[in-house]
Amino acid sequence: MIVSIILLEHPMSRQLLPLSLSRRHLLLGAVAAGVALAMPAYAQEAREVEHALGKAIITKKPTRVLVLSDFTDLEYVLALGVTPVGYGFTGSWGRGGLPWQSAAADVPQLPLVDTVASPEVVAGFEPDLIIGMKTYIERVQSQLEGIAPVIALDWSTPWRNGLRLVASALFEDERVEAAIAETEALMADTARSLDGLGGKKIMVGSMYGETLYVIGAGPMATQFAELGLTFVPAPNASDSGLAEYSMENVDILQQADILMSFTNDAEGTERLETFAPFQRLPAVAGNAYIPLGTLTGTAFADNFSPLSAKWVLPRLAALLTDAAAGKAAR
């Protein structure tokens, strides 16, 4: 993320002061200058914010923020203490409202058609800033930019970077560092409670449709590392952080001591769990297999943020502790 500061020139700065300036005027000028110096940066500066689909120039602190989905775009806005004027409710995988997003319970929902918000509907919210995941923006980017500055987030951006990007657009520089510090402290406490799980190796493999997706290097791998755990990424993962295999290649998960799986696709998960070679994997046979429920998986993967971390880390720690002891419950 690149953030540039653009100093705004006051229209009066080009005028020459009269030569016969009185002492009273000088005093008032000094007081005004002092007030200007004491004002927060966002009152005096505009920002050029680089995001996943380009750059946006934001001339002042936004007051009407519209969010296009309920993924990390909404997470980061809420985590920074900002209530949007509306957001796109996806309810992906039938998960319903997310319990850690309760601050948005009374916020109007933005209708979506095939993950796209109508520019006409967006304009009706009269936003002065639009924030969304890039896949919710790219097909209508030019129309949205005609309404308000647009900030697009990439799915693979680490949570600190994404949070700081949104904070820059919202002029919440101080609040973002406090939120990051609080989350880092929670992760450190969780790491101490897990104590490395004895060095047991963790992998994540999930079935969606006919494809077995195995997590590679990326934000999720980094989160495991920050919890002091030994995560084994899939080799040859794509830029999205995923490697794709057929179910017949399930032995790629053979080296996992603890195996986690996202279960959003119930039919795909059942097909995987009843596949004999999967059942023979050491982690599965040793009761160290964790099928993650939709909320838990969403909180730790798609939506990891200062909000979801408080909800998911205690739950995840309990699941991992049981799995390390060979007591994972299906």
pLDDT of residue 28: 37
pLDDT of residue 238: 78
CA quadruple 72, 76, 81, 84: dihedral sign: negative
pLDDT of residue 8: 36
Tell me the fold of 27-171: Rossmann fold (3.40.50)
CB atoms within 10 A of CB 29: 12
> Residue 235 in 3-state DSSP?
coil
pLDDT of residue 40: 52
- Please give the structure tokens belonging to residue 155: 């799915």
pLDDT of residue 237: 80
Q: How far apart are CA 255 and CA 232, in angstroms?
A: 8
Provide CB contacts within 8 A for 60, sequence distance 6+. 42, 43, 46, 171
pLDDT of residue 10: 32
pLDDT of residue 14: 29
pLDDT of residue 276: 98
**Residue 190 · residue 227 · CB < 8 Å:** yes
Q: Where are the domains of the chain?
A: 27-171, 195-324
| Mean pLDDT for back-to-back runs of 10 residues, the chain (330 residues) | 40 30 36 42 75 97 97 97 96 84 96 89 97 96 97 95 98 97 98 97 97 93 96 84 94 97 95 97 98 94 96 98 91
pLDDT of residue 330: 67
pLDDT of residue 114: 83
- Residue 299, CB-side half-sphere exposure with 13 Å CA sphere: 21
CATH 3.40.50.1980 assigned to 195-324 = yes
pLDDT of residue 38: 43
pLDDT of residue 29: 42
Longest Cα–Cα distance in the chain: 94
From the CA atom positions of the chain, what is the Rg in Å? 24
